[in-house]
Structure 1
């Protein structure tokens, strides 16, 4: 049997971890629709040919950026920012001082930017009952616990009935992107085991992904200070996160309902992915 994950990769010059969320089986016997939502690593190094393929061939019209304000400022304008047809939205999954909802507004540091803006991230806090979880699980629960508003807003952006495709991304396209995508796929009716398999697929390209990020001054220190194995996504990480959502909320949909992403919005996202 051919894996539903085979053939979903989108090979570009400037990305390493881009793939289509279409083609995944659902619990009711259907499949997610291709060409609607993509997931990716950083888009800063797209080539001219990449932009032409994404916008022209794949119909990309929206970018959902989960990076922090500091990352965006350090990395600078990506080539898709110059494409009028593409809308950019920014939802940081890490706590920051201040609130930003549009990436364009923070692409250039304002003249009165406070000293120490690079240290603008607030310390991550881990709920006491989650302190015994593995580090990656703690991080993912931190996104859900500390930035639930940004998680929900990112899903609302993906659910909007806009024409064309959307891409959701962070730096590596595995952690912050992985959590948002896991919730989106759950809404579409994709079973847990397929959500986990999609998450773990990044392991196939982890060497190239680490090398790409290591070439950027923004991410180089983190890449070289840890070995590749520590960056590699493990299926048991997402399995544990989904299990916790099952235990505490009756599943991902219960978490979404509890955080204001109700039945109508879930139906809209399901329609976008189905």
Structure 2
């Protein structure tokens, strides 16, 4: 069953998952606040109990976007994949073996690589998000850190949340996934050396800043990036409306 944490209901205590977080409650640069209960980020959902499954549905989740690779899906099936309670979508953003790419030296490099190399997949993800403005959506990967962190950062930046706050949201993963670090280490692809893989298990906020700085220098902001990959202005505005409280 879920319960609200002391962190203003940010982190949901879900049996079987460790990094389920609400993107609501963040102040924007123009003084508005992101909405609670409409967008959730998470780690793997393959261990959810039936009660936890029901708790997320009761929380309003009607769409689940699984960002994991095919190998991850086969080994750790999503409990929502066959659910009649939610719309389940899988959009694989990157193969876990990509961390062994000689051109990728840090998580920041990896995130930029995904931004530039997985534009079609990110367009699919954000089109799904823009089409679900009347219901809550949860998106996740294995740790809720990298692929999930990219999507969360783009959303928060689109809403006008300061970069420093986005960095803090990203860094919050470290404490959330501490109980499953050994499991994550055991998921290392055999093609990736242990010492390299270990470097990619952290949540140093400098990596998120590298990505945000890249977006700013190349596209202006996340809105510019999303428009560049094929989203319409109507879709972008729908996402903003979903993210932000209505001001009267």
Tell me the TM-score normalised to structure 1 length: 0.78
CA deviations over 1:96-116 (Å, ceiling 9, x no partner): xxxxxxxxxxxxxxxxxxxxx
Match 2:30 to one of 25, 28, 31: 28
| Secondary structure class of the residue paired with 1:173 | coil
Match 1:239 to one of 185, 193, 209: 209
Corresponding pairs, count: 237
1:69 to 1:29, Cα distance in 2 relative to 1, 3 A:
same
CA deviations over 1:130-169 (Å, ceiling 9, x no partner): x5x7411111111111111111211111111354311000
1:172 pairs with 2:134: no
Match 1:225 to one of 173, 176, 194: 194
Structure 2 equivalent of residue 158 of structure 1: 129
8 A Cα contact 1:206 1:228, kept in partner: no
- Listed as ranges, the gaps of 5+ residues in structure 1 are 96-118
Distance 2:116 2:220 in 1: 16
C-alpha deviation, 1:213, in angstroms: 3.3
C-alpha deviation, 1:79, in angstroms: 2.5
8 A Cα contact 1:207 1:228, kept in partner: no
Match 1:265 to one of 232, 235, 238: 235
Distance 2:54 2:91 in 1: 26
8 A Cα contact 1:210 1:228, kept in partner: no
| Secondary structure class of the residue paired with 1:26 | coil
8 A Cα contact 1:40 1:173, kept in partner: yes
Bigger Rg, which one: 1
Structure 1 equivalent of residue 70 of structure 2: 69
1:229 to 1:208, Cα distance in 2 relative to 1, 3 A:
farther
Structure 1 equivalent of residue 87 of structure 2: 87
1:123 to 1:225, Cα distance in 2 relative to 1, 3 A:
closer
Q: Which of structure 1's runs of 4+ aligned residues deviate more than 4 A? A: 121-126, 220-224, 226-230
- Listed as ranges, the gaps of 5+ residues in structure 2 are 1-5
Distance 1:5 1:265 in 2: 31
Q: Give the 5 Å matches for 1:44-55.
A: 44-55=46-57
